[in-house]
């Protein structure tokens, strides 16, 4: 990867990259502990907590389509600002929510809705009016900053979640208020990324899913579906076989590899033909899941790092391919991609709980990871074959353009 282009970034781009670290840092100082707060501090039943968190996650992902539509109507900068105002209000509401389950759930949904509105506009603003060859670096740098914030947020907040919850929520609210003020100072852009002083004739409003690039959308659903088995069930699998310290080490190394490797590999990933990227990505996922099934500490670490490589290739390449194939604005494209991720995560949650429980009751939990590995190997070619059958022209054209 050539790091020289980083020196040519604009002030707003640098600010957004910094925000890509600070926003998840604040969010993940709180969100990973919501099940503990809702259950242990506020007394909600675990079943209710599970439903609340599942619905909130789905809102956060699927709401990206709404966020993209709003961005097309009022502009990227204004959408980001509106989203951060909503999200800041959500974190402020957690303060009275510490004594009221209803207020706490309302606060959680405000935070989730704000995230849904923000992310498509944020990515679109970051890449607007840049050359196509700059997109991989900007998107991968943003992803690395986001993952660094996700990794550090829980570590920074862990000592204060239960002992000083009010102080933690106050600090996060102030952080988001400061980031919101910074976004208010960004240049106002039109929904298509043109400067605000450029006037053009209004275009007919398109339907939300017009121009949807079906292949990268479907592959994103599948990528997130198989990946979320790892995200959801690694802890319950790894901790009894190792320790909480070893599990924390695995997560730290995973985050480090993700933060460092994705920008370094971004140019290479961008040049990869799409079919080859799919083969590499899903092979890494399948190999990683198979390695996890061995159950030894070294196998758990190796499997996690292989899965990280699969995530790096697939998630970035799917976004780039969607941008290349769609004629819609970047905000709409990223909204579609967020919806695809939400569908995949929701399907994984439905299938994963029963699947892991069945494997655990059989006394061979390694079979769970073996079954996921089989899906990583078989589902991608089956999905592509199905798309060719039902949408032969578009799917074949998309694959040939990617070669």
Which CATH number do you get for residue 397?
Answer: 1.20.1250
Is pLDDT above 50 for 389? yes
Opening angle at CA 211, ends 206 and 215, nearest 5: 155
What is the spatial distance between Cα 208 and Cα 194, in angstroms, rounded to a whole number? 21
Tokens of 217: 């959308």
Q: Where are the alpha helices (DSSP H) in 213-296?
A: 214-241, 244-271, 274-292
Does the CA dihedral 65-67-69-72 come out positive or negative? negative
Give the mean pLDDT of 306-335.
90
Question: What single string gives the DSSP state of each residue in 331-345?
Answer: HHHHHHHHHHHHHHH
The span from the CA of 184 to the CA of 49, in Å, is 35
Residue 170 structure tokens: 């106050």
Q: Based on the domain organization, do 172 and 243 belong to the same domain? A: no
- The pLDDT value given to residue 85: 96
Which residue has better confidence, 194 or 78? Answer: 78
Q: For the segment 19-58, what is each residue's pLDDT rounded down to a tens digit? A: 999 998 888 788 767 766 787 778 887 567 767 877 887 7
Mean pLDDT, rounded, for 51-78: 82
pLDDT score, position 204: 52
For the chain, give the percent of residues with pLDDT over 70: 87
339 pLDDT higher than 70: yes
* Backbone dihedral angles phi then psi of residue 261, each to the nearest 5 degrees: -75, -35
**d(Cα 277, Cα 340) in Å, to the nearest integer?**
18
What per-residue confidence (pLDDT) applies to 88?
95
Q: Which residues have a Cβ under 8 Å from the Cβ of 68 and sit 6 or more positions away?
A: 120, 121, 208, 329, 331, 332, 333, 334, 335, 336
Kind and range of the H or E element at 82? helix 76-97
How far apart (Å, rounded) are the C-alpha atoms in residues 301 and 249? 9
User: Does 205 reside within a domain?
Assistant: no
Which CA distances in Å does 104 have to 47, 83, 157, 235?
A: 16, 19, 18, 26
- The percentage of residues in the chain with a pLDDT greater than 90, rounded to a whole number, is 35
Indicate whether 218 and 173 sit together in one domain: no
Per-residue model confidence (pLDDT) at position 38? 81
Mean pLDDT estimate for the chain = 83
Q: What pLDDT digit, counting tens, does each position of 138-180 carry?
A: 888 888 888 888 778 877 776 776 678 888 889 999 999 999 9
Q: Are 291 and 306 in contact (CB under 8 A)?
A: yes
pLDDT at res. 35: 67
Q: Of the segments 51-60, 190-199, 393-402, which one has the largest average pLDDT value?
A: 51-60
Amino acid 191: pLDDT = 43
The residue out of 167, 184, 201 marking a domain boundary is 184
Tell me the pLDDT tens digit for each residue of 220-250: 999 999 998 888 788 778 878 888 678 778 8
Residues 224 and 350 reside in one and the same domain: yes
Residue 74 lies in a domain: yes
Q: Is residue 206 a part of any domain in this protein?
A: no
Q: Which of 132, 166, 184 is the last residue of a domain?
A: 184
Averaged over 120-145, what is the pLDDT? 83
Confidence at residue 200, expressed as pLDDT on a 0 to 100 scale: 42
For 12, residues 6+ apart whose C-beta sits below 8 A from its C-beta are: 125, 186, 187
Supply the pLDDT for residue 124. Answer: 86
Does one domain contain both 152 and 291?
Answer: no
Whether residue 362 is found in the same domain as residue 222: yes
Domain match, 176 and 230 both: no
CATH of the domain at 11: 1.20.1250.20
Packing angle, helices 274-292 and 297-325, rounded to 10:
160
Q: Domains in the chain: how many in total?
A: 2
DSSP state of 203: P
Higher pLDDT, 219 or 200: 219
**Residue 199 resides in a domain:** no
One domain for residues 8 and 92: yes
What kind and span of H or E run contains 10? none
274 near 321, Cβ under 8 Å? yes
In a domain, 345, yes or no: yes
108 and 218 co-located in one domain: no
What is the rounded distance in angstroms from the CA atom of residue 44 to the CA atom of residue 403?
52
Instruction: Look up residue 67 and give its two tokens.
Output: 């966020």
Report whether 316 contacts 136 (CB < 8 A): yes
Token couple for 252: 């730290």
Task: For residue 150, tell me if it sits in a domain.
Answer: yes
pLDDT at 393 over 80: no
Q: Does 324 lie in the same domain as 371?
A: yes
- For residue 207, is pLDDT > 70? no
Residue 241 CB contacts under 8 Å (≥ 6 apart), including other chains: 295, 296, 297, 300
Using the 3D structure, point to which of 184, 201, 233 is the last residue of a domain. Answer: 184
User: What's the CA dihedral at 312, 314, 319, 323 to 10 degrees?
Assistant: 120
Q: Which helix (H) or strand (E) holds 369?
A: helix 366-390
Are 267 and 1 a contacting pair, CB within 8 Å? yes
Summarize pLDDT for 237-294 with one digit per residue, the tens: 887 888 867 877 887 788 889 888 888 898 899 999 999 999 999 999 999 999 999 9
Among candidate residues 262, 312, 28, the one with its CA nearest the CA of residue 150: 28
Residues 305 and 397 in one domain: yes
Across-strand partners of 233? none
Domain extent, residue 250, equals: 214-402
pLDDT the model gives residue 384:
92
Beta bridge partners of 195: 189
**295 and 385 assigned to the same domain:** yes
State the average pLDDT over residues 7-25: 86
Higher pLDDT pick, 28 / 214: 214
Which of 149-153, 188-192, 292-296, 333-337 comes out lowest in average pLDDT? 188-192
**Hey, how many other C-beta atoms are within 10 angstroms of the C-beta on 5?**
16
* Residue 209 belongs to a domain: no
pLDDT of 29: 80
Please answer whether residues 97 and 170 qualify as being in contact, where contact means their C-beta atoms are separated by less than 8 angstroms: no
Asked if 353 and 272 sit in the same domain, the reply is yes
For residues 28 and 155, is the Cβ–Cβ distance under 8 A? no
Of residues 55, 153, 152, the one with CA closest to residue 109: 55
Cα separation, 257 vs 192, whole angstroms: 34
Q: Does 99 map to a domain?
A: yes
Could you tell me which residue, 378 or 334, shows the higher pLDDT?
Answer: 378
pLDDT of residue 217: 94
pLDDT of residue 165: 81
């Amino acid at each position: 990867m050539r790091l020289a282009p980083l020196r040519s970034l604009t002030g707003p781009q640098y600010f957004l990259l910094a925000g890509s670290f600070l926003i998840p840092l604040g969010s993940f100082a709180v969100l990973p502990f919501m099940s503990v707060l809702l259950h242990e501090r506020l007394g909600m039943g675990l079943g209710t907590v599970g439903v609340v968190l599942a619905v909130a996650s789905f809102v956060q992902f699927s709401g990206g389509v709404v966020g993209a539509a709003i961005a097309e109507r009022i502009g990227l900068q204004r959408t980001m600002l509106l989203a951060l105002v909503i999200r800041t209000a959500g974190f402020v509401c957690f303060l009275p929510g510490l004594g009221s389950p209803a207020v706490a759930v309302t606060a959680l949904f405000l935070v989730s809705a704000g995230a849904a509105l923000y992310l498509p506009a944020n990515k679109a603003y970051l890449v607007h009016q840049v050359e196509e060859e700059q997109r991989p670096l900007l998107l991968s740098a943003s992803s690395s900053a986001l993952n660094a914030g996700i990794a550090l947020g829980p570590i920074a907040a862990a000592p204060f979640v239960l002992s000083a919850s009010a102080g933690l929520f106050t600090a996060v609210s102030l952080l988001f208020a400061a980031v919101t003020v910074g976004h208010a100072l960004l240049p106002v852009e039109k929904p298509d990324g043109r400067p605000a002083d450029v006037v053009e004739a209004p275009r007919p409003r398109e339907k939300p899913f017009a121009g949807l690039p079906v292949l990268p959308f479907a592959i994103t659903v599948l990528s997130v579906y198989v990946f979320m088995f790892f995200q959801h069930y690694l802890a319950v699998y790894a901790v009894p076989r190792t320790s909480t310290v070893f599990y924390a080490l695995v997560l730290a190394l995973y985050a480090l590899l993700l933060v460092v490797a994705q920008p370094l590999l971004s140019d290479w990933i961008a040049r990869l033909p799409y079919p080859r990227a799919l083969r590499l990505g899903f092979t890494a996922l399948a190999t990683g899941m198979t390695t996890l099934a061995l159950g030894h500490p070294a196998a758990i670490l190796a499997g996690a790092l292989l899965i990280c490589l699969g995530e790096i290739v697939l998630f970035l390449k799917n976004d780039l391919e969607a941008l290349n194939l769609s004629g819609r604005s970047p905000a709409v494209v990223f909204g579609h991609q967020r919806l695809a991720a939400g569908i995949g995560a929701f399907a994984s949650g439905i299938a994963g709980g029963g699947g892991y429980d069945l494997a655990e009751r059989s006394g061979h939990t390694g079979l769970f990871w073996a079954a996921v590995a089989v899906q990583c190997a078989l589902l991608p070619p089956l999905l592509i074959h199905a798309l060719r059958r039902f949408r032969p022209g578009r799917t074949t054209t998309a694959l040939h353009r990617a070669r």
